[in-house]
Amino acid sequence: MDFGIAESLVDALKQNRYHARRCFERFTSRGKRSVKPQELLDMIEKTIDDKLERTKVLEGSLGQILSSTQEAIMIPPYVVLGVRANPGQWAYVKVNADDVTVDSLTPSQYLKFKESIYDQEWSKDENALELDFGAFDFRTPRLILPSSIGNGLGYISKFMTSRIGGDLDNAKPLLDHLLALNYHGEKLMINETLDSVSKLQKALIVADVYLSAHLKDEQFSTLEPKLKEWGFEKGWGDTAERVKETMKMLSEILQAPDPINMESFFSRLPVIFNIVIFSIHGYFGQSDVLGLPDTGGQVVYILDQVKALEEEILLRIKQQGLNAKPQILVVSRLIPDAQGTKCDEEMEPILNTMHSHILRVPFRTSKGIVPRWVSRFDIYPYLERFSQDAASKILEVMECKPDLILGNYTDGNIVASLLAKKFGVTQGTIAHALEKTKYEDSDMNWKNFEKKYHFSCQFTADLISMNAADFIITSTYQEIVGSKQRPGQYETHGAFSMPGLCRVVSGINVFDPKFNIASPGAEQSVYFPYTEKEKRLTSFHPAIKELLFNEQDNDEHMGYLADITKPIIFSMARLDTVKNITGLTEWYGKNKRLRSLVNLVVVAGFFDPSKSKDREEMAEIKKMHELIEKYKLKGQMRWIAAQTDRTRNGELYRCIADTKGAFVQPALYEAFGMTVIEAMNCGLPTFATNQGGPAEIIVDRVSGFHIDPINGDESSNKIADFFSKCKVDARYWDRVSRAGLQRIYDCYTWKMYANKALNMGSMYGFWKQLNKENKQAKQRYIDILYNLQFKNLAKTIEIPDVATPHQERVK
Ligand code: UDP
Ligand code: LCN
């Protein structure tokens, strides 16, 4: 589908024939190349001198099409445009600059043009590998409106409704689903007495009459004998009232289903007791790990997620009238060389939970157990063996198969896909961050990145797991489909090429109802408002005072604050390039007005580059030292090394709020941004990047502020304006602080998340059965890709000798 773009372009070119011809001539005048949208508009400006004429063209449909163009490929005499008509909706067109004629292109044709710039030979190879996951989706319903994207659950219940409704026979798959429900072999909901939909329907009517004669709070145990006679088992509810309600929901579904009722009924089904969550890379632990390389928000997210999921499962089990014991296992990597963390322990109970554990399984190779930390970019050769070892361990610990497997990040997601297939269970994936969007042209230029990042493995693994997954959880809408201006992380996997490896003509469709937005929260017992005086952790205050204001440099902090009465602008992140902590330091260094208004405090990495294991971190550490020197920041800036105690960090955010300061998240790109919601939970006014998740978390100038990471002057002035305004009107700071908190309470809590995630597990578990044939066909395709492509790519990554010291391995 080209969304009428080719037709509109033909009309637009006709209307502006003279100017269009000249513009397209100019576009192709510099030969073969790829051009970004801004350059196209600049070229138009240079071509049409007359301002009035130019405005007419730019404001007309030609201007609109060109401003929706994400990339243009010049292959004289052709100009090939990748136009993003709306979020998720792409059209590809080819304009002949000589006669300004227009043709629509398929994604494959478009990609071939693009590839020819990077790898002429590959683009001409008629047998180049094309991946087309869309070929298996012809029977799966799709959403239509970009605004519906990410609300998969809502639509799945609508699609189910239409499949199940109409005729009693259509409800047979639902009957089979109910008949299969059990807990450790003990039947739940119904037994074989009810082996047809009509028997079930009749039994529900009889049971309803029976239940009406009982008090609402009558316990299930007293009703059980009679209900069992009719074919009903445990699981309908704990009291007569709840059993009756749940039965009524099913009766309604059998009579005339509606989506809301369908979703409510599935949320009551006893299907999820045991969950396995994969989070493999980094140091996965509960203390002393945050801020270590590759170890950040994902760990925080999962630990809080587990707690919220366990609470919700326990509540559901109680309401279902069951006596089951849930289990949640977070499966990670065991690292013998644990660097003072607990990552060398196999099992660790998860704090503040009753039935959840971390299970660590080591990486093994033919040379033995891998002792050291492995960067997430180099992890692929270990994963297959890891998944086999993890599978045996999970069965041993859980004593049964899990009901749901959730993967996290590329490594966790591919292992989740392997095990979901092996166990035949429902699979959800969570990306946290898809690496592809973080580096410009990372697909076309994959060969240049390969040695350092192994994107060939990563992107292949991502494609496999997003297609294998029954549902995908994202933190924001942006993550799926971006914004008006910028494509989303998943969206960029729609059509792309890695010349020499594969051409992906349909990688993932963002209109697939498997996408669901379920935003995380921040643990509210740790991150609570600075105003809640009685809860404040004052025992940390002396240490925090030392951390912020002590004037002597040491291993934990360097630089000092000469005027401690000024508000503090604060940031905290891993010292990755993309986090742009060095960018913030430079903005501050350059902006005299900002320096006069506030001090800067950053928590990031540590100070000695030779001690770093991570290649990006090393470069950033060096840059930090250079900037502090260059802008003479000592006296106004404090650099604090990574802080691993999150309870104390919660108090640290609040102490910054006490100074009437602000949190600044300056990342070049941020998938979600846990620090943003942590700061907002503490009542700290927050400035955060407009690139990625934070742009959605914060409503600009209402619940905080957006800043542009590539426009440092504008951003630092926006921060300075805020503090100037606060000087004149002290209530302004309070208003922003309160609005930030309100935003959190409305949209970002773990309770909302857990409820949604469990509903997904239940609904998609059934949906996948309704679409069994489709899923199986796709799985075969995935198997081929995994075995013939991914495994070979993973083999190209060097497995270091066990004895090799880490430093020598850093590329
Ligand atoms: N964090 C920390 N100490 C540090 C740096 C980060 O405790 O020195 C925590 C921070 O509070 C947040 C998480 O690590 O909970 C970072 O999550 P975010 O989503 O902001 O970024 P990520 O590191 O996942 O890219
Ligand atoms: C990874 C990231 O890069 C962050 O943006 C997220 O907040 C974090 O994971 C948790 O999802």
Which pLDDT belongs to residue 613? 80
Distance, C-alpha 96 to centroid of its chain: 40
Q: Phi then psi for 546, rounded to 5 degrees?
A: -60, -45
Burial (0-12, 13-18, 19+ Cβ within 10 Å), 144 = exposed
Note whether 497 and 441 are within 8 A (CB): no
Report pLDDT for 801. 78
Q: What percent of the chain has pLDDT over 90?
A: 91
Q: Are 673 and 667 a contacting pair, CB within 8 Å?
A: yes
Residue to mutate, 475, 489, 578, 698, ligand 2, most ligand atoms under 8 Å from C-beta: 475
Can you tell me the distance from the alpha carbon of 728 to that of 597, in angstroms, rounded to the nearest whole number? 13
Are the beta carbons of 238 and 216 closer than 8 angstroms? Answer: no
CB of 667 closer than 6 angstroms to any ligand 2 atom: no
Question: What single letter denotes the amino acid at residue 591?
Answer: N
Residue with tokens 């130019």: 54
Identify the nearest ligand to the CA of 648 by its number.
1
For a mutational test of ligand 2's pocket, the pick from 298, 473, 478, i.e. the residue with the most ligand atoms closer than 8 A to its C-beta, is: 298
Which string of DSSP letters, residue by residue, matches 10-64?
A: HHHHHHTHHHHHHHHHHHHTT-SEEE-HHHHHHHHHHH---HHHHHHHHHSHHHH
Q: How far apart are the C-alpha atoms of 482 and 216, rounded to whole Å?
A: 49
Instruction: Give yes or no for a contact between 661 and 598, defined as CB atoms under 8 angstroms apart.
Output: yes
Q: Is the CB of 19 under 6 A from ligand 2?
A: no
- Report d(CA 213, CA 407) in Å as an integer: 47
- Tell me the C-alpha distance between 489 and 497, whole Å: 15
> How many Cβ atoms from other residues are within 10 Å of residue 11's Cβ?
14
- Cα–Cα distance, 455 to 443 (Å, whole number): 8
d(CA 302, CA 407): 10
Q: How far is CA 565 from CA 554, 596, 599, in A?
A: 23, 12, 9
Sequence-distant (6+) residues with CB within 8 A of 682 are 527, 528, 529, 530, 650, 653, 654, 657
DSSP string, 726-792: HHH-HHHHHHHHHHHHHHHHHH--HHHHHHHHHHHHHHHHHHHHHTHHHHHHHHHHHHHIIIIIIHH
> What is the distance between the alpha carbons of residues 230 and 210, in angstroms, rounded to a whole number?
11
672 CB less than 6 Å from ligand 2? yes
Nearest of 465, 350, 491 to residue 412 by alpha carbon: 465
Place of tokens 């590759």: 294
Residue 521 Cβ contacting ligand 2 at under 6 Å: no
Report the nearest atom of ligand 2 relative to the CA of 430.
11
pTM for the whole structure:
0.95
Question: Phi-psi category of 98—alpha, beta or left, where left has phi over 0 and alpha has psi -120 to 50?
Answer: alpha
Between CA 164 and CA 159 the distance in angstroms is: 9
Q: Is the CB of 712 under 6 A from ligand 1?
A: no
Cα(744)–Cα(721) distance, rounded to whole angstroms?
24
What is the number of other CB atoms lying within 10 angstroms of the CB of residue 254? 19
User: What are the DSSP calls for 461-473, one per residue?
Assistant: HHHHHHHH-SEEE
Helix (H, G, I), strand (E, B) or coil at 71: strand
Judge if the beta carbon of residue 760 lies within 6 A of ligand 2: no
Q: Among 287, 290, 295, 603, name the best residue to mutate to test ligand 1's pocket (greatest count of ligand atoms within 8 A of Cβ).
A: 290
Nearest to 283 by CA among 328, 338, 346: 338
State the amino acid at position 800 in one-letter form.
P
DSSP-derived secondary structure letter, 350: P
Q: Report which ligand 2 atom has the smallest distance to the Cα of 671.
A: 5
Q: Specify the pLDDT at position 138.
A: 75
> Is the CB of 667 within 6 Å of ligand 1?
no
Sort residue 559 into left (φ over 0), alpha (ψ -120 to 50) or beta. Answer: left
Ligand 1 geometric centre to CA of 210 (Å): 55
Distance 571 CA to ligand 2 centre (A): 16
Q: Whose CA is nearest to atom 23 of ligand 1?
A: 296
Distance between Cα 581 and ligand 1 center (Å): 13
Among 655, 643, 656, 474, smallest CA distance to 574 is for 643
DSSP 269: S
* Residue 194 backbone phi and psi in degrees, to 5: -95, 75
Cβ of 275 closer than 6 Å to ligand 1, yes or no, is no
Which H, E and C letters describe 580-611, residue by residue?
CHHHHHHHHHHCHHHHHHCEEEEECCCCCHHH
Give residue for tokens 């910028």.
486
pLDDT at 807: 40
Please work out whether the CB of residue 652 comes within 6 Å of at least one atom of ligand 1: no
Which single residue is written with the structure tokens 């297609």? Answer: 467
Q: What is the pLDDT of residue 612?
A: 85
The residues, any chain, with a CB within 8 Å of residue 287's CB and separated by 6 or more, are 341, 342, 644, 645
How far apart are the C-alpha atoms of 430 and 428, rounded to whole Å? 7
Between CA 622 and CA 611 the distance in angstroms is 12
Cα 709 from Cα 79, distance rounded (Å): 31
Q: Is this complex's ipTM strictly greater than 0.95?
A: yes
pLDDT of res. 1: 65
* pLDDT tens per residue across span 167-208: 899 999 999 999 999 999 999 999 999 999 999 999 999 999
Q: How far apart are CA 435 and CA 380, in angstroms?
A: 15
Q: For residues 509 and 134, is the Cβ–Cβ distance under 8 A?
A: yes
Residue at token pair 């001690």:
611
**Closest residue (by CA) to atom 16 of ligand 1?**
297
Query: What's the Cα-to-Cα distance from 172 to each of 201, 204, 238, 254, rounded to whole Å?
Result: 12, 16, 27, 10
Amino acid identity, position 496? F
Low-confidence ranges of the chain (pLDDT < 70): 1, 802-811
Backbone angles phi, psi at 769, to 5 degrees: -70, -35
Smallest CA-to-CA distance from 520 within 300, 285, 296 is with 300
Q: How far, in Å, from the CA of 766 to the mean position of ligand 1?
A: 36
Q: Mind spelling out the 3-state secondary structure of 673-695?
A: CHHHHHHHHCCCCEEEECCECHH
Compute, in angstroms, the gap from residue 298 CA to the centroid of ligand 1.
8
Instruction: Establish whether the linkage from the previous residue to 293 is cis, with ω within 30° of 0.
Output: no
Q: Which of 744, 637, 720, 737 is nearest to 686 (CA)?
A: 737
HSE-CB at 139 with a 13 A cutoff on CA atoms is: 13
Question: Helix count (H) and strand count (E) of the chain?
Answer: 32, 27
Ligand 1 neighbourhood includes 23 CB (under 6 angstroms): no
Closest CA to 331 of 342, 355, 347, 318: 347
Are 645 and 341 contacting, i.e. CB atoms less than 8 angstroms apart? no
Nearest CA owner, ligand 2 atom 8: 297
- Ligand 1 pocket: which of 556, 574, 643, 647 to mutate (most atoms <8 Å of CB)? 574
Taking CA atoms, 571 is separated from 15, 161, 413, 580, in Å, by 52, 48, 30, 10
Measure the CA–CA gap between 590 and 601, rounded to whole angstroms. 16
Amino acid at 97: A
Q: Judge contact between 741 and 109, C-beta under 8 A.
A: no
Give the number of other Cβ atoms within 10 Å of residue 311's Cβ: 16
pLDDT in tens, 337-357: 999 999 999 999 999 999 999
Ligand closest to the CA atom of residue 478: 2
CA of 510 to the centre of ligand 2 (A): 20
Using DSSP's 3-state secondary structure scheme, residue 266 falls into helix
